[in-house]
Structure 1
Amino acid sequence: MKLSTTWMAKAQKRSPLQKAATKQWFWLAVFGLSLASLLSFSGGRLLADADTLWHIAAGEWIISNHAVPMTDPFSFSFRGEKWITHEWLAEVILAIGYAWLGWAGPVLVAALAAGLTLTMLLRFLLRYIEPLHAAAGVALAFLTLAQHLLARPHTLAWPLLVVWASPLVLARERGERPSPWLLVVMLVWANLHASFLLGIVLASALAFEAVLMDGKPVQAAKAWAPFLALTVLMGLMTPNGMDGLFFVFHVSNMPYALSIISEWQPPEFRLFQPIVLWLVFLLFGALYFGFRLPATRIAMVFGLVYLALTSVRYAELPGLLAPLLLLPSVAPQLRAAIRPEVKLLPSLQRLRATTLLCTILVLCSAAFLAHGINRDDGPTFPTNAVRAAKAAGGSGPVFNSYNFGGYLIFSGIAPVIDGRADLYGDNFVRRYMEAYSGNGEVLEALIADYKITWAVLEPSSPAAAVINGFPGWKKVHEDAVAVAYVRDK
């Protein structure tokens, strides 16, 4: 009883600011958990990408061998060749999630990462604008990342992107040097996903802005230069060292592979693209309200928009980073131009009802995930075709569709190719695509060079029709997902 009285006395002594901060954190937690719970119900959608499978397999390999592979352990075509495992930490997290909860594990990891990302973004926006406007900004950000929301390493890097960028922007606004704790974020990020390079570029841009605009360039340089140097050092503290730091440049020097992989393609504007809606809101606000922004921030946002327009892989960057970069300048102008919204003070009944709904939603999500998610079929799961081919004597090197490589690795079968285009390089990807596209001479040479004895392909694949006409090959299975062929021995 005495302990309870003491706790109540301390609670009553809290200042109004402390109480407000506690309340805000509570509602942010409610928002984040509710959003993660909602996203978890789209389990199949989060597992739609074939690369999720080999990422989990890579994480399992790392856990089993207590090491990060430096060479390819999965394919037969490039086994033993140098492989830059720049996402090893994310792969371990996905593998642990799968080991604990089955397919519900990677779904939960991705849903929590997305929920945390948007919650941290909302917290930053609430520093500057009214809750209704902040919610609109978060909704626009969600639209930009929704099409790329998958149980893959880049989703796990999104929270770090916001956690990294928002303190840097606040440090610039206050004229302070960045917190050294951010170096821990960079260390984790560098081992999680190659997008950490964007964090280094963003920090460099803000440092340049500080030197250019603060009026004391020498003092600003002294404040930011050590942080930038340590940031680069953290980026090097990975199993891949310099290779990890320059991985993005390695991929950018693969023009053919980038031209055929869908996520590296520019947005198809004949279809609805969320980035268009985001740009409409941005341009409307800039033109209607006449916002005045620092030239450096305009340049940064233009850079983000350029990335989003060159590749759908970068579509989420403007939605997540532009609000962080623009709001310190835009918020005062926005408040002056728009009447403050009428704030409806929530009653105790509303608070209780909202908390109850959130609790029910979380419990329903937990029950859904506990029930398990079935992923034994789907367009990237040629389960029946592989089973039939094995029963018919299919073994050894296999010629497979690009989208089946992840499933084969996950099943312990070495593919000819999979989603790791950076491993295979432009020349091999080009040769494979010529064979896959129905060039009989190239396909026959590839089969001879790698001693391929069976094939698992999409039914619509031109290569399937060519193999069907090769002597000594027979079709052993066909369904809506895949067709399998086995070569007579």
Structure 2
Amino acid sequence: MTFKRLVFGITFLAIFTMAVRASVGYDTWWHLKAGEWMLANRAILRTDLFSLTRLGSAWIYPGWLAQILLFTAFRNFSFAGLNLFTALMVVAAFGFVWCTLEGRDLLKAFIILLAASASGVYWSARPQIISFALAGYFLFVLYPHRKRRTWLLWSLPLAMILWVNVHGGFAIGFLILGVYLCGEIVQMVHEVIQGDLDWRSAWNQHKREIFNLLLLSLLCALAVSINPHGPQMLLYPFKTVSIQVLQDYIQEWQSPNFHDAQVLPFLLMLLLLIGTLYGSRRRGDPTEIILVLVFLALALLASRNIALLALVAAPVITRHLDALLDDLHLSSGSAAQLPQSAAKWLNLIVFLLLIVASGLKISSSLSSQVNQDVIEEEFPVRAVEYLRSVQPKKNLFNTYNWGGYVIWELHPDFLSFVDGRTDLFDDEILDEYLISWRGLPGWEQVFETWDIEIVLLEPWAPLRIRLESQGWKIDYEDELAVVLSYPQ
């Protein structure tokens, strides 16, 4: 095994080992329930069946195919299937990005591992993990476009058909295409302003790329229509980002908190990006500069976009850091080396030992007990078990983060009041939820409107104080959750 292959193998073994972990998130549960329903009924789920507040309403969601894939993985391999599926999507995303990296092998390995660490908070068993891999694919395909290797470009509309049927993040594909188009135009204008070319010559040099990108964008827009909901899906991303409560309440839609240890790899990557762009002798390419600025802005506006910036920034950092290291005259040196044949065997032995070590960690993450322990730390498992015994069934008010778990475990006996389907609930229901959960004036009217008789909350939720002051009784309580019911 050559040193180059050893570095590649260790890098992706490390990424895979990092990514194989308990991947169940708050939204995983309602995705699984939707996938289960669609497979059982052999139909696309178009109306809400799971919530008290939107029951029977039209539910236009692009991720039907991802939901079926996730449930299939879960049905066949339990939580291990979800963990492996998530890890494979992560490896695919960084595999595509690796193909765009330039420079020393060890440098590429360091940057790609840093990017993986920065994006790690994003990895969970949700449709967006497929979106993450497809974003990597778009970056991979468009990178050689600038080296005049364009045949892969025409695979992007096909990829867009897949994307629009797995996640609303397909808008990222259009954003990447738009950046490359703007970069090509800016490059053309820059060459004219610099006096390198006149307008006619510059246009002749760039028109093919500009027309290709315009045509590609049009074909991708047409491809978006190939989904169960038709052309209206083009507007779906705008509907989602227009929900104000997302920014006000949901952490992943808020700006990153730089005091959070999980954000430190992103901060390091950001500092490295700024430093290498400033210190590199290589001239900044308009496309890469625009790409970095756009995705940096998105990452600073919403922490969920940090993962996308990691994909975008990794090639830029390696390209400029490699040039900076050349300027500093840093190389591998002239130290004595092992004979080539011995080095190959040593590399192979090292790699095999690392596979064994990684296998031990991975097998632990695939254990049913380990996954169950994580679930019991994050979700109201025992409180939900209590709710199963409640007779007769009552209208439930639940904490937002637990809505998906309620759907998975208790549907159809109990419906969620609210859950992670923000596109379904919109500001109207989400505002009612926040007023109630916070115990603000008006919560009683919300409870009266929806005839709420039983509540599942965190023990420290402000609403609990309001309920107890009005005589609601505690039916069940543990360190994670409390169930209160209306006095009869």
State the TM-score bracket (shorter-chain normalisation): 0.7 to 0.9
Q: Which residue of 2 aligns with 1:12?
A: none
**C-alpha displacement at 1:173, in angstroms?**
2.5
Paired residues of 1:386 and 1:484 also in contact (CA < 8 A): no
Distance 1:350 1:244, change over 3 A: farther
Q: Which residue of 1 aligns with 2:483?
A: 484
1:70 aligns with 2:68: no
Structure 1 CA distance for aligned equivalents of residues 319 and 347 of structure 2: 31
Count of aligned pairs: 461
Structure 1 CA distance for aligned equivalents of residues 428 and 477 of structure 2: 31
**C-alpha displacement at 1:83, in angstroms?**
1.7
TM-score calculated relative to the size of structure 2: 0.86
Q: Which residue of 2 aligns with 1:430?
A: 431
The share of aligned pairs that are identical, in percent, is 24
AA aligned opposite 1:475: I
AA aligned opposite 1:356: L
Runs of 4+ in 1 over 4 A off after TM superposition: 23-31, 325-338, 342-346
The farther-off stretch of 401-410 and 199-208 is 199-208
**C-alpha displacement at 1:292, in angstroms?**
1.8
**C-alpha displacement at 1:393, in angstroms?**
2.6
Paired residues of 1:77 and 1:416 also in contact (CA < 8 A): yes
**C-alpha displacement at 1:363, in angstroms?**
4.3
SS at match of 1:103: helix
SS at match of 2:485: strand
Pick aligned residue for 2:209 from 203, 220, 224: 220
Q: Which residue of 1 aligns with 2:443?
A: 443
Paired residues of 2:63 and 2:127 also in contact (CA < 8 A): yes
1:382 aligns with 2:371: no
SS at match of 1:173: coil
Q: Give CA deviations for 1:279-332 in whole Å, capped at 9, x if unaligned.
A: 211122122334421234312211111111111111112211123457667756
SS at match of 2:147: helix
Structure 2 CA distance for aligned equivalents of residues 196 and 51 of structure 1: 19
Q: Give CA deviations for 1:395-451 in whole Å, capped at 9, x if unaligned.
A: 131011111101101112311111112211112211211111113x52222222112
Q: Give CA deviations for 1:213-234 in whole Å, capped at 9, x if unaligned.
A: 3632433333333222111122
Q: Which residue of 2 aligns with 1:468?
A: 468
**C-alpha displacement at 1:29, in angstroms?**
5.7
The farther-off stretch of 473-482 and 380-389 is 380-389
Q: Which residue of 2 aligns with 1:118?
A: 94
Q: Which residue of 1 aligns with 2:198?
A: none
Paired residues of 1:169 and 1:324 also in contact (CA < 8 A): no
Q: Which residue of 1 aligns with 2:192?
A: none
Paired residues of 1:129 and 1:335 also in contact (CA < 8 A): no
1:206 aligns with 2:180: yes
SS at match of 1:259: helix
Q: Which residue of 2 aligns with 1:292?
A: 283
1:314 aligns with 2:314: no
1:233 aligns with 2:219: no
Pick aligned residue for 1:408 from 384, 402, 406: 406
Q: Which residue of 1 aligns with 2:396?
A: 398
Distance 1:109 1:184, change over 3 A: same
Structure 2 CA distance for aligned equivalents of residues 335 and 232 of structure 1: 43
Structure 2 CA distance for aligned equivalents of residues 286 and 367 of structure 1: 41
Q: Which residue of 2 aligns with 1:8?
A: none
1:192 aligns with 2:188: no
Structure 2 CA distance for aligned equivalents of residues 261 and 397 of structure 1: 24
1:99 aligns with 2:99: no
Paired residues of 2:15 and 2:113 also in contact (CA < 8 A): no
Structure 2 CA distance for aligned equivalents of residues 327 and 233 of structure 1: 35
SS at match of 1:476: strand
SS at match of 1:179: helix
Specify which structure has the bigger relative contact order, considering alpha-carbon pairs within 8 angstroms and separated by 6 or more residues.
2
AA aligned opposite 1:425: D
Paired residues of 2:48 and 2:57 also in contact (CA < 8 A): yes
AA aligned opposite 1:142: A
Paired residues of 1:398 and 1:456 also in contact (CA < 8 A): yes
Q: Which residue of 1 aligns with 2:360?
A: 364
TM-score calculated relative to the size of structure 1: 0.86
Paired residues of 1:58 and 1:91 also in contact (CA < 8 A): yes
Structure 1 CA distance for aligned equivalents of residues 96 and 207 of structure 2: 33
